[in-house]
Amino acid sequence: MKILVPVKRVADPDNANKMKVSDDGTAVTSEGLEWKINPFDEYAVEAALRLNENGASGDSLGETTVVSLGTSDVVTTLRQPLAMGADRGVLIEAEDAQLDSALVAKALAKLVEKESPDLVLMGKQAVDGDSNTAGQMLAEYLGWPMATFAMSIAVDDDGKALVVGREVDTGVLTLKVTLPAVVTVDLRIVTPTAVQNGVTPADHGYNEGARYASLKGIMKAKKKPIDQLSLGDLGVEGSPSVTYSKFELPPARSGSVAYVEDVAELVQKLQTDAKVL
Amino acid sequence: MADILVVGEILEGDLRKNTLSAVRFAADAAGATGGAFDIIVVGDGADAAADTAAKYGARKVLKAQVDGGYVAENLAATIAKAAQDGGYKIVTATAGTTGKDLMPRVAAKLEAGVASDIASFEANGDELVYRRAMYAGNVFGFATVHTDVEVVTVRQTEFEAAEEAGSASPVEDAEVVADPAAERVEFVSLEMQKSERPDLTEADIVVSGGRALKSAENFDNVLVPLVDALGAAMGASRAACDAGYVPNDLQVGQTGKVVAPKLYIAVGISGAIQHLAGMKGSKTIVAINKDKEAPIAQVADYFLVADLFDAVPALTEEIKKLA
């Protein structure tokens, strides 16, 4: 099937506690932190590759296109999924200040109209903004069905539908969506048997997690096409509907850690000092 | 003056308790702007959910019965129509998985911007500024929504459940609107993890286990006795869930459940940034870990450096003596 995977670059999530706020509070800076592909989008790339290949034979079953919004720096971010096995990339030129989740969704909707994919597969949230809205808004702008927080995907009805297991507060909610559809993915979509395309043997042992790009993949990626479009080319205009007037670091927890000698001291402190027992 | 519509969540045929956090936000925001708040319940069991919702001081409660399991496409159009008809400035829900799934669709229908998972707000006249966690809770941003209608989801742990008002709101029917997208979705099943224990997001005490517990059996034999002795809810790190020691809905973290109990005990959890994001709002944090330098020490109030397989049974015994 033809799959479109939107990806976002974010400041190294494993060092999110090193984010800083400018002195006047109007900007967040990630100075010194490496840019990485948003982890959930990386899982979406992996899920797309699993859907579009026979995992045992390596045969390709469809085309996977990755798209990102940003300045030309973002081309580096696109090379990683291309190196993993995606077929082509699209860069939609935009400055961060021009965007919010709704505009990202509108731009993607316009791109979908041009590209006509069967499936848009993306991470459930970007770990910088943590908004968890773009995928849902995209589905609505397209008038498509959606399945969010996917932990499993199985192709059904001869490739016309997907059965998606969603992680919800109370357990697992399973939906069947007829393509074309939007699916946003959660952590466990990259467990070894979470993606079943009906072609790869059901017990095929994928590794846990997204695949590493091989050296060969990295070399091939340099030649894969990346189309560049502007927001204007897509007919997207308007300014963000959500803006941030200031930022602050969270209040530090008072005091420092008290190491206790043994269980008895812990219980005594929890009763007498913390008064929680 | 901002009128506010609360979108209630229906679970197992009644109003889900987490809705009351959105009600709290709506009551506070309506009060601050001189407006009123209503509650709408759409789904299977709307009648019973409406009767429950009517106890919380809303100006009115709207209801629409929609049969079958939860499918956002079956609900969003009805909610959007009610929001338009009522001229609400703000449409809100609690940021559980239902709220996060459904509300952006409602927002897109209303051409409304979304402020997700807010921790608090300030009112400047009619304009609200929303404070929300970003970068795994390492930065707080102050967001303004510039569209005519604003959609807001609220973090359950930051808005205490609204209390019963002592009188009943009037209940009326909302018009059900069909959406063509709904024809392409089918609800298949909901497998719920049933537990007698308190809900993770509501409990006063949470005991969470990490990968160091090494097996599902150890969770049962070592951690559960402590959880139950404390009458606590049980949580887990992502690593423990991924390893299959416990079901995924126990995951505490940036993209799992956010909890803020009076007491959080982290057993064998190193304290990855993503885990801290889900529990560092807890009042008192205890870590039990062999590694004195584990990152969890950055947020812990008390740290017992010990082998959890010795310390946890010993702690369980001490707790039982207190009862």
Q: How far is A215 from A84, CA to CA, in rounded Å? A: 10
Are A62 and A11 in contact, with CB atoms under 8 Å apart? no
Q: How far is A188 from A166, CA to CA, in rounded Å? A: 10
Of the listed ranges A195-204, A252-261, B260-269, the one predicted with least confidence: A252-261
Give the one of A136, A141, A241 whose C-beta lies nearest to B146's C-beta. A241
Are B235 and B175 in contact, with CB atoms under 8 Å apart? no
pLDDT band at B56 (very low <50, low <70, confident <90, very high): very high
Confidence (pLDDT) at A254: 80
Tokens 């590759």, located at residue = A49
3-state secondary structure A123-144: ECCCCCCCCCCHHHHHHHHHCC
Percent of chain A at pLDDT > 90 equals 93
Query: DSSP 3-state helix, strand, coil percentages of chain B (rounded to 5)?
Result: 35, 30, 35
CA B44 to chain centre: 20
In chain A the domains, ranked by start, together with CATH numbers, are 3-249 (3.40.50.620)
Of the listed ranges A203-207, A219-223, B184-188, B317-321, the one predicted with least confidence: A203-207
| Residues 78-137 of chain A whose Cβ lies under 8 A from any Cβ of chain B | 100-102, 105, 124-125, 127-137
Rounded to 5 degrees, φ, ψ at A7 are -130, 150
Contacts of B57 (CB under 8 A, 6+ apart): B23, B27, B162, B165, B167, B169
Confidence (pLDDT) at A252: 83
Sign of the alpha-carbon torsion through B246, B247, B252, B255: positive
Which of A29, A140, A160, A207 to mutate to probe the B interface, most B CBs <10 Å? Answer: A140
- Cβ atoms within 10 A of the Cβ of A231, count? 20
Confidence (pLDDT) at B126: 78
Q: How far is B311 from B191, CA to CA, in rounded Å? A: 35
Beta carbons of B255 and A14 less than 8 Å apart: no
Confidence (pLDDT) at B125: 79
Beta carbons of B139 and A28 less than 8 Å apart: yes
Confidence (pLDDT) at B309: 98
Q: How far is B112 from A237, CA to CA, in rounded Å? A: 16
Confidence (pLDDT) at B207: 98
pLDDT band at B124 (very low <50, low <70, confident <90, very high): confident
pLDDT tens digit sequence for B169-192: 999 999 999 999 999 999 999 999
Beta carbons of B284 and A133 less than 8 Å apart: no
Q: How far is B211 from chain A (nearest CA, A)?
A: 16
Of the listed ranges B26-30, B121-125, B208-212, B275-279, the one predicted with least confidence: B121-125
Mean pLDDT computed over A156-163: 95
Confidence (pLDDT) at B24: 98
pLDDT over threshold 90, residue B233:
yes
- Closest-CA residue of chain B to A126: B135
Q: How far is A72 from A63, CA to CA, in rounded Å? A: 24
- Cβ atoms within 10 A of the Cβ of B263, count? 22
pLDDT band at B270 (very low <50, low <70, confident <90, very high): very high
The residues with which B185 forms a beta bridge, in sequence order, are A177
Nearest C-alpha neighbor of A240 from the set A129, A74, A140, A89: A129
To the nearest 10 degrees (0 to 180), the angle between helices A101-115 and B97-109 is 70
Sign of the alpha-carbon torsion through A76, A77, A78, A83: positive
Higher pLDDT, A139 or A97: A139
Q: Which two tokens stand for residue B265?
A: 């005990």
pLDDT over threshold 90, residue B255:
no
pLDDT over threshold 90, residue A30:
no
pLDDT over threshold 90, residue A241:
yes
pLDDT over threshold 90, residue B257:
yes
pLDDT tens digit sequence for A172-193: 999 999 999 999 999 999 999 9
Rounded to 5 degrees, φ, ψ at A98 are -85, -10
The residues with which B90 forms a beta bridge, in sequence order, are B4, B150
Give the one of A14, A175, A258 whose C-beta lies nearest to B301's C-beta. A258
Beta carbons of A270 and B187 less than 8 Å apart: no
Q: How far is B201 from B207, CA to CA, in rounded Å? A: 12
Residue numbers in B near A144 (CB within 8 A):
181, 184
Confidence (pLDDT) at B194: 83
pLDDT over threshold 90, residue B158:
yes
Q: Which two tokens stand for residue B115?
A: 């402020």
Nearest C-alpha neighbor of B42 from the set B72, B6, B75: B75
In chain B the domains, ranked by start, together with CATH numbers, are 4-184 (3.40.50.620), 205-322 (3.40.50.1220)
Nearest C-alpha neighbor of A240 from the set B243, B90, B144: B144
| Residues 69-88 of chain A whose Cβ lies under 8 A from any Cβ of chain B | none
Confidence (pLDDT) at B323: 79
Confidence (pLDDT) at A208: 92
Beta carbons of B286 and A266 less than 8 Å apart: yes
Mean residue pLDDT across chain B: 96
Q: How far is B109 from A138, CA to CA, in rounded Å? A: 11
Q: Is A46 on the interface with B (CB under 8 A)?
A: no
pLDDT tens digit sequence for A61-101: 999 999 999 999 999 999 999 999 999 999 999 998 999 99
Single pTM value for the model: 0.95
pLDDT band at A32 (very low <50, low <70, confident <90, very high): confident
Q: Which two tokens stand for residue A143?
A: 């008038």
Mean pLDDT computed over B220-235: 97
Confidence (pLDDT) at A205: 86
pLDDT over threshold 90, residue A5:
yes
Residue numbers in A near B255 (CB within 8 A):
40, 124-125, 127, 186-187
